[in-house]
Structure formats: C-alpha cells, structure tokens
Structure 1
Amino acid sequence: MKIGFTLPQFGPVAGDTGELVRFAREAERLGADSLWVGDRLLAAVNPTVGYGGRETIPDAFRSVLDPFALMSAAAAVTERVEIGANVLIAPWYSPAVLARSLTTIDRISGGRLVPGFGTGWSPEEYEAAGVPMSQRGGRLDECLDALFAWWSDNPVEYGGKYWSVPSTHVDVKPDRRPRPPVYLAGFAGAAVERVARRSDGWLPLHVPGADEFDPEAVNGPMSRIRRLAGEAGRDPAALGAVLRVYPMTTEALDGVVDTVVRAERDTDVDHAFVEMMNLVDNVDQALDTVERVLRAARG
C-alpha cells in the first residue's frame, strides 16, 4: 500500500509557508509515497451550502495556500514521492492555463504528477471564479477533452461549447507518457459514470471517527465503475483508486491507521493518503504524524 499525506495548505499549518520545503523533504525521507493538495478558493461568511453536509465552512478554509504553487515547490525538492491533487476544481480553469501549469509541474517532478479533478460544492466559489455552477459537469468533460488533446496532439486544437483552444504548437509535453494518470472524484451516478468512461481511476473518501471503515463502500462503487468501463470498451483492470482518509479530529488517528490497513486487506485500493487539515497546527506536528502513521500502518 502506498501511503501519502497532504502538504501544509489549510488552517494554522498554512502559516508555516516557509516550512513547506522542510515538510516535503522530511516526509519523503520518512517513507511517504505521495504528497497531496486540495483546491479551496474562499470561505464564505454566509454559505449557501456548507461543507460536508454541515451549514458552515470550516475555520481551516480561512487560511488557504495555492495548490499549484505547493505542488511545484514539493516537486522541486523531492525525488521519489508522487505529487497529487485531490481535487482540483477543473471547471474553474481555462484548459489551456490548467494544462500549462500541470505540464510544468509534471516536468519539474520528472513525471510524478497525479492530477485529480472534481466539480466542487460551493456556489460562492463558483461566483468568485466567474463560472456558472450549473455548467460544472459539462465544463469538466470539456476540460478533460482539451487536456487530453494538449497532452497528446501537436498542433493542439479544441472547440467545445464552453472552452476553445485555437490551433497551437505545444512542444512541451508531460514527462509521464502518454500523459499523467487522471483520477476523478464523486459518488453520484453521473460522477461514477464519468470515472468509468474518462479517467484512470477513482478517488473515494472515508472519514475515520464518523463511521467504521466499510470495505463495501469502496468495493461496491468500484465494481460498478469497472463494469461500466468494460461496457465502454475499456480495460476494467486498468482503473485504480486512491483513498482519501479524512479524520475530523486528532482523536481519530487510530482510525486512520485502521482504515489504511483494512483498505489494503479488504479492497483493491493500493494507494491511500491522509488529510491532515484537522490533525496538526504546525509542520513539526505534521512530520510527527507522518512518522506515527507510517510506523503503525507498516508495522
């Protein structure tokens, strides 16, 4: 099982911006297999939709660092760990701008980029991004089309309902060929179908402390994804999954380890990462958590 951790991006730990490089280097030295970012744009004072089924936005989202900058910095100072995004809100970004940024990060890392995409949940963030939230599904599909073209064709040209790329020469392609593996998030029907048709894998989520880890919560949707992939003429066995383990409190740390161990034993998941937003206040605590989780999960 590959085990990764989030970079210092949200909440109090984001104040240790100057310590990002130390965290990335030390996490790799301790044995982490991947380092991850998310994508939050703002913390609405009066949110139309709260976070995770609640009515409010977590205080941690009041302090946010840019995911592209963090991935670039981590890629530049590490040699082995994969650099992942779970998830970038693709409908916010012009595909050409997104492709340029992600290609650069993949090249800096020597082909270690693992981009994950989703559609988000916050109407206020869509308003701030200047994108109608009602178009999020269609924009995600078109963004994937344009990205895949950017990473494979030369010259590149794309025309859709929402996005267009005039014919252009793109000589810089990702190091990882034919392209970085693209993962997609979501549990709803349309999201699961998109994973099966468009992606290299799925991004499930478990919250230790809220519920005991149920392997069927991963195995059931993954079976459907692979069945749909086969019906679409794709190789079902080629699709993977990266499990986001998202503890809400420091008391849930034992549940983090249990989730990772049980996922490895009882599912096809071979890669998990720990969201540390609610676990640590500074980089020293973050590195201590990395060491403790890796020691406990690997014995």
Structure 2
Amino acid sequence: MKIGMSLTSSYPTSLDSRVIMENLVEEVKLMAQLGFDSLSLGDHHLTPNHYVQVLPAISSLSSISGNMQLLPLFLLPFYNPILLAEQLATLDVISGGRITVINALGYDAAAFTAFQTTQRARVSRFIETFEIMRLLWERDAVTYKGRHYSFDAPISLNPKPVSRPLLMWIAGGAEPAIQRAARLGDGWAIVPGWTPDLVKKGIQFYRDSLA
C-alpha cells in the first residue's frame, strides 16, 4: 500500500499570502521525513480566498519533496495544451521523472466565463487538450485537427518528459468522467469526501468501464 496526501492552499485573504507557501513547505518537509509516497495539489481560479496556482507551487515544492511522486491537478478546459505540455515536461525533468498529472473538467460557471469559454464546451476542450499533450510527449512530429485546436504543420516539443510515459489520470465523480478515465487515462482519481461505499461502487464502475 502507498500513502499520499492532497494538500490545500486555500486560506482566507485576511492572512498574509506568504504564509501559504511557508505552511506548504513545512507540510511537505514533514511528509518526506515520514515516508509519504505522494503529494497532490489542486487547481482553482478567481477564488474569493487565497489559492496559490498549482504549477509554480508544486515546482517550488519539488526540490524538498524527497522521492515522493508529485500529482498536480489541472482543470484542463482553462489551459492551452501546447504551453501546458511544455511546462509539465519541464517539471518532469526538474523532478527527475516524478510527475503524474491529474486532469479534471472544472465546474465554476464564473471561471468559464472569465476564461472566455463555456461549460457546454468543457468536455470537448478537455479531450482535445488531453490528446494534444499526450501526443506532444510521445511523438516527434504532431499534427492535430479538432474543434478548438488545429495545426496542420507538424510541431514538436523538447525536452520530452523523463517519464515514459508521463502518466495522466482523470478525476471526477460522475459516470461519464469515470468512463473517460477508463477510455483515455492511465488511472482514475477519486473525488475527495466520498464515503467508503461510494468509493467501492466507483472502483467497480471504473473496472467495468475498462473491460
């Protein structure tokens, strides 16, 4: 059995924002000392509270995380797939191949409006972003034709990730999300707060979807 922890960076705005990273650093140092196997950090945008962004935060924490696997979560519909693929490949190089990416849809209507997209398009944007990133990590010349992203001239990404493959999990509690995890991903990330009974049913549904 392997043990990991999902860390929060959500703090009230009344608190000095520098305390967020100070607390995260102390938590990660303690986790490394205690022999934890992994740490994850979530992704939210335009929150009324302090919420540090996952990519720079986990990049900073990687240097003090020992041998722990690093599991940053991204709400994929909000990201450019080429830029995120480059950044994650570099992060995997920095960490020595310790990255597993968790991918989710997002749900905040205000955030979708601010990012000039829609909740209705989130699934198609998610799938295209997911596919493009994986192609860029695994191939030397990539073309793509999609609804949101298209490039006819071949493009390539360097450096490639150290991890071959760089694992991509998909998070979500709804049945379509679990089915996407089975169809596209390398694993399914369970929704926080589920009861043991829901976890058991979700795992069974995921395994059935793999068949």
- What is the TM-score with the length of structure 2 in the denominator? 0.88
**Are 1:154 and 2:140 counterparts?**
yes
Shift of 1:106: 1.0
1:222–1:7 Cα change, 3 Å:
closer
Q: Structure 2: which 5+ residue stretches go unaligned? A: none
Q: 2:35 is matched with which residue: 27, 31, 38?
A: 31
**Matched ranges for 1:97-112 at <5 A:** 97-112=83-98
Which has the higher Rg, Structure 1 or Structure 2? 1
**Matched ranges for 1:20-99 at <5 A:** 20-43=24-47, 62-85=49-72, 87-99=73-85
Identify the structure with the greater helix proportion: 1
Q: 2:177 is matched with which residue: 181, 186, 191?
A: 191
User: 2: CA distance between counterparts of 1:6 and 1:21?
Assistant: 14
- What is the TM-score with the length of structure 1 in the denominator? 0.64
Q: Structure 1: which 5+ residue stretches go unaligned? A: 44-60, 231-299
> How many residues are matched?
206
3-state secondary structure, aligned to 2:170: strand
Give me the identity figure in percent. Answer: 27
Aligned to 1:115: 101
User: 2: CA distance between counterparts of 1:225 and 1:206?
Assistant: 16
3-state secondary structure, aligned to 1:80: coil
1:89–1:206 Cα change, 3 Å:
closer
RCO higher in structure (CA 8 A, sep ≥6): 1
User: 2: CA distance between counterparts of 1:81 and 1:104?
Assistant: 17
User: 1: CA distance between counterparts of 2:36 and 2:21?
Assistant: 20
**Are 1:228 and 2:206 counterparts?**
no
- Superposed structure 1 runs of 4+ greater than 6 Å apart: none
Root-mean-square deviation (Å) = 2.0
1:105–1:73 Cα change, 3 Å:
same
